Amino acid sequence: MSDLHQLRVAILATDGVEEIELTSPAKALKDAGARADIISDHPGEIQGFEHHNKKGTIHVDRTLDEAGPNEYDALVLPGGALNADQLRVQPKVREFIYEMDRAGQPMAVICHAAWELVSAGVVLGRNLTSWPTIRDDITNAGGRWEDREVVIDGNLVTSRGPKDLPAFNREMLALFSRIPAGAHR
């Protein structure tokens, strides 16, 4: 198992997040010793989903107004169509993602969250995967979409959806373990 003690990870999500795509990576990070903050566009709780059905709520640690990319060593973007569609249009989210990528900080992105990468302008020339319906968006933004459970491209690891979580978590932890804590702060 990876040892990620001292690593700070931002998890950006809002209402409509695919619950398991947030809770599973968050648990893997916690089990490896990382500190993972749930950051949202509003305080309190966000509504998790299982595809189209409401699941539980998830506590928000910080808002986008309170957190910045320079405070974190890595980024996780969980999916959920409603979640990703709401976040991708927010300038603070796009800037957060863009700045993390520009600094070479590792990012783990699953399912519909690839939309957020497209809107942040960081997919040109990159290899990645996503939920299959996002393929055209990635291709139109200059990315190369692959139908695989996990794709790694530099500081980016991507997966298609919930069934790929074991591979996603494994590769996320491997990628994040190569970055010294505080290296980008």
Place of tokens 């069934």: 163
Query: Is 112 a known active-site residue?
Result: yes
Secondary structure letter of residue 42 according to DSSP: S
Q: Which of 5, 42, 112, 184 is catalytic?
A: 112
Question: What is the greatest pairwise CA distance in the chain?
Answer: 39
Task: Name the 3-class secondary structure at 88.
Answer: coil
Q: Are 12 and 84 contacting, i.e. CB atoms less than 8 angstroms apart?
A: no
The alpha-helical segments, DSSP class H, found in 32-123 are: 81-87, 91-102, 114-120
Task: Name the 3-class secondary structure at 58.
Answer: strand
Task: Name the 3-class secondary structure at 63.
Answer: strand
> Which residues are identified as catalytic?
112
